[in-house]
């Protein structure tokens, strides 16, 4: 059995208005008919009109003129009220119907449509703005996901192809199963493992479910731990690594492992793009109510056209930064998400190619907290 089709919103609203107008009109007429005759008769008695013929004539004249005036007023009010009600209902119902169609297209995954309505009530205008913002965000998410899947396929291709070629070569006896071959496969497996871990972390950051265990911690301790973890690799490449602190930076309420992950990512990024005999400096200082970690390198730098995109997922735009790059392309995205989960920020600056770069992590300091 087919369900009965419900009338449109404008029809329901208009019928409701008409019913209210009719009830109001009927109430007005009934009240007038009950009250007016008694008042009229009282005035005739006070005027001394007591002959039956005069009273009958005056009463009939009053009743006729009263009924005619009341009828004309009722019809006029119905027409005026009906026209105004129709206008107001259309002004409300049409935008709502347009927004409903727009919302249906969003539910079907079509974020290319726009909520184009004329200015209506403030509430409907707010709804239109909210739906338009949702459409823009969904479109961005869809594009990001599509690009991320393409980039992930590209990132997975190299380690899988390398491992597959080595396995086939060893199996065919073309490649020796020596330490070099096993180390190469282990490196590619580590690359796959890191990519898997980074994809997990970036998906958690995207859903705002990145786990943190915050506690009062010294910025200097986090900085020294990060330097200690990376010093050997910097020395192996011949890049100078220095730590500069103000020694009086206030405590921060943060997850030391997550902030350490941010600094580790920034140091790894600096090492990857700083040539031998270059220098990387981790500077920790406090400015008013902020603790600032800055990682400055004397490496390749970042061109002005690429700088706004370096925190995008899987973005590695400069060809120089792609050469020999085994990173997942997700590290800076994850680092910024961690910073934002701590009510902080992560920014980058560079004077251009060959001028080095600086990454700045800003976190709120704990009030009245000193090391």
Q: Are 301 and 354 in contact (CB under 8 A)?
A: yes
Q: Which residues contact 244 (CB under 8 A, 6 or more apart)?
A: 281, 282, 283, 284
Terminal alpha carbon distance of the chain: 75
Tell me the two tokens of residue 108: 């079907």
Task: Give phi and psi for 360, each to the nearest 5.
Answer: -120, 120
In whole angstroms, what is the distance from residue 291 CA to residue 45 CA? Answer: 94
Q: Residue 24 has what pLDDT?
A: 76
Q: What is the mean pLDDT of residues 325-342?
A: 74
Residue 257's pLDDT band (cuts 50, 70, 90): confident
Q: Count Cβ atoms below 10 Å from residue 286 Cβ, excluding itself.
A: 17
**More confident of the two residues 349 and 309:** 349
In whole angstroms, what is the distance from residue 72 CA to residue 262 CA? Answer: 80
Tokens 């409903």 correspond to what residue? Answer: 100
Q: Which residues contact 327 (CB under 8 A, 6 or more apart)?
A: 268, 269, 272, 316
Tell me the two tokens of residue 175: 């490649």
Q: Residue 263 has what pLDDT?
A: 93
Is 0.85 surpassed by the pTM of this model?
A: no
In whole angstroms, what is the distance from residue 253 CA to residue 289 CA? Answer: 12
Q: Are 371 and 223 in contact (CB under 8 A)?
A: no
In whole angstroms, what is the distance from residue 206 CA to residue 201 CA? Answer: 9
Q: What is the mean pLDDT of residues 343-350?
A: 92
Q: Which residues contact 142 (CB under 8 A, 6 or more apart)?
A: 109, 111
Residue 315's pLDDT band (cuts 50, 70, 90): low
Q: Residue 369 has what pLDDT?
A: 56
In whole angstroms, what is the distance from residue 249 CA to residue 246 CA? Answer: 6
Tell me the two tokens of residue 97: 């119907």
Side-chain-side CA neighbours of 338 within 13 Å: the count stands at 27
H or E element, residue 119: none
Whether the pLDDT of residue 9 is over 80: the answer is no
Q: Count Cβ atoms below 10 Å from residue 173 Cβ, excluding itself.
A: 8
Whether the pLDDT of residue 229 is over 70: the answer is yes
In whole angstroms, what is the distance from residue 22 CA to residue 43 CA? Answer: 31
Tell me the two tokens of residue 166: 């080595």
Q: Are 347 and 292 in contact (CB under 8 A)?
A: no
Whether the pLDDT of residue 324 is over 50: the answer is no
Whether the pLDDT of residue 69 is over 90: the answer is no
Whether the pLDDT of residue 292 is over 60: the answer is yes
Q: What is the mean pLDDT of residues 221-243?
A: 92
Whether the pLDDT of residue 281 is over 90: the answer is yes
Q: What is the mean pLDDT of residues 139-148?
A: 73
Summarize pLDDT for 74-132 with one digit per residue, the tens. Answer: 778 778 777 777 777 777 777 777 777 777 777 777 766 666 666 666 777 777 777 77
Q: Give the 3-state secondary structure of residue 100.
A: helix
Q: Give the 3-state secondary structure of residue 356.
A: coil
Whether the pLDDT of residue 175 is over 70: the answer is yes
H or E element, residue 359: strand 357-364
Whether the pLDDT of residue 166 is over 80: the answer is yes
DSSP string, 195-223: HHHHHHHHHHHHTT------EEE-HHHHH
Cα 100 to Cα 12, 106, 305: the distances in Å are 16, 10, 40
Tell me the two tokens of residue 197: 């871990």
């Amino acid at each position: 059995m087919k369900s009965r089709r419900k009338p449109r919103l404008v029809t329901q609203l208009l019928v409701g208005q008409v019913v209210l107008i009719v009830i109001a009109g009927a109430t007005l007429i009934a009240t007038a008919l009950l009250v007016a005759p008694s008042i009229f008769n009282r005035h005739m008695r006070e005027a001394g009109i007591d002959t039956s013929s005069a009273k009958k004539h005056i009463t009939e004249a009053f009743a006729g003129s009263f009924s005619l005036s009341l009828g004309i007023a009722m019809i006029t009010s119905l027409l005026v009220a009906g026209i105004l009600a129709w206008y107001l209902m259309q002004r409300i119902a049409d935008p709502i119907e347009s927004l409903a169609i727009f919302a249906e297209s969003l539910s079907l995954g079509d974020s290319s449509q726009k909520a184009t309505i004329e200015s209506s009530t403030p509430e409907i205008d707010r709804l239109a703005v909210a739906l338009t913002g949702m459409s823009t965000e969904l479109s961005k998410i869809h594009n990001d996901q599509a690009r991320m899947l393409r980039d992930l396929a590209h990132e997975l291709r190299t380690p899988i192809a390398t491992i597959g070629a080595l396995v086939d070569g060893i199996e065919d006896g073309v490649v020796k199963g020596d330490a070099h071959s096993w180390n190469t496969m282990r490196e590619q497996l580590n690359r796959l493992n890191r990519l898997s871990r980074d994809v997990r972390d970036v998906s958690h950051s995207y859903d705002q479910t990145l786990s943190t265990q915050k506690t009062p911690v010294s910025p200097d301790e986090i900085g020294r731990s990060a330097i200690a973890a990376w010093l050997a690799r910097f020395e192996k490449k011949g890049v100078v690594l220095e730590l500069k602190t103000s020694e009086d930076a206030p405590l921060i309420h943060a997850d030391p492992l997550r902030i350490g992950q941010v600094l580790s990512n920034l140091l790894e990024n600096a090492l990857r793009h700083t040539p031998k005999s270059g220098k990387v400096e981790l500077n920790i200082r406090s400015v008013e109510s902020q603790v600032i970690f800055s990682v400055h390198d004397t490496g390749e730098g970042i061109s002005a056209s690429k700088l706004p995109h370096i925190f995008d997922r899987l973005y590695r735009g400069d060809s120089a930064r792609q050469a020999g790059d085994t990173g997942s392309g997700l590290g800076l995205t994850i680092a910024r998400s961690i910073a934002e989960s701590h009510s902080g920020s992560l920014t980058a600056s560079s004077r251009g190619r060959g001028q080095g770069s600086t990454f700045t992590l800003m976190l709120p300091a704990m009030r009245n907290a000193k090391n």
